[in-house]
Amino acid sequence: MLDLPLMTYVATMSVTPGPNNIMLAASGVNFGFRRTLPHMLGISVGHGVQVVLVGGTVAWAMNWIEALRLPLVLLGCSYLLWLAWRQAQAGRPGNAGQARPLGFVGAALFQWVNPKAWMMVLNVAILFLPQGAGWAAVALLGLSCAVINLPCIALWAGIGDRMRSLLERPAALRTFNLTMAALLGATAVWILVDELPAGVLA
């Protein structure tokens, strides 16, 4: 199942900027690589489970995906905006003791409202699952995607971790967190505008 086209597609989609990677870079800066590990593992395992569940029911899912698309986008963008607000609070005076990295379960569940994850999972299921594939093939595909995804997203947490020494001053860390919050917020707004039916914003 680990053929070159699948590896290339999943690696490219996993390593390019998106909500997961922005949050991982920010977590790496604020909490370090080791404390970000549950977040990373949650993303990869959540992604693998999502591939299995969606891939295993792709025919049914394709019938419903258009009806579910806008509600999922609204839910996902709302959550991204909440995460952006939370990120903006990180690094504020008096907040150091309250801050915690996103955990395994939270990161895994986030994949279900992450528009980029949905696009990736549906494409993987459609492009790489042979017609009539059984659950064993679907499970292998999910495992393959999780294995490819983990080192790609770990790169972002590692970059964040390496930046910690550059952001030791509270003002620098605050600026970084506000920048990451702005990127998350802009991502949510961009996705929302892109997904709204034509004429809504006219």
Integer Cα distance of 171 and 93 in angstroms: 10
pLDDT at position 93 over 50: no
24, 37 Cβ separation under 8 angstroms: no
* pLDDT, tens digit (0-9, with 9 covering 90-100), for 36-86: 999 999 999 999 999 999 888 875 665 566 676 678 778 777 877 887 888
**Residue 143: per-residue pLDDT:** 93
Joined tokens for residue 190: 């961009």
pTM exceeds 0.85 for this model: no
Mean pLDDT for 6-23 is: 85
* Spatial CB neighbours of 132, under 8 Å, sequence gap ≥ 6: none
Mean pLDDT for 123-132 is: 77
* From 1-5, 122-126, 136-140, 196-200, the region with the lowest mean pLDDT: 196-200
pLDDT at position 202 over 60: no
